[in-house]
Amino acid sequence: MGMTLYSGPLSLFSRKVEIALAEKGLAHERIMVPFTQTEGYRPKHPVVLAGNPKGQVPVLVDGDLTLFDSTVILDYLEDAYPTPPLFPRDAAGRARCRLAELEADEILMPDIRPLMHRSEPPDPARLEAQEAGARQAEEALRGHWRRLDDRLAGREFVFKSLTVADIALFMAVLFALRLRGPGLDGFPASAAWYERLSARPAFAKVLAEVAAADRELSPALFG
Q: Given this model, what pLDDT does residue 112 score?
A: 98
What is the tens place of the pLDDT at every residue in 114-160? 999 999 999 999 999 999 999 999 999 999 999 999 999 999 999 99
pLDDT score, position 169: 98
Query: Which residue, among 53, 51, 71, 72, has the nearest Cα to 6 in the 3D structure?
Result: 51
User: Can you give the pTM of this predicted structure?
Assistant: 0.97
> Given pLDDT bands bounded at 50, 70 and 90, which one contains residue 42?
confident
- To the nearest whole number, what is the mean pLDDT of the chain? 97
**Letter for the amino acid at 119?**
S
Q: Is 156 exposed, middle or buried (0-12, 13-18, 19+ CB in 10 A)?
A: middle
Q: Tell how far CA 85 is from the center of its chain.
A: 19
Using one digit for the tens of pLDDT, what is the confidence trace for 163-194?
A: 999 999 999 999 999 999 999 999 999 999 99
Neighbours of 128 (CB within 10 A): 9
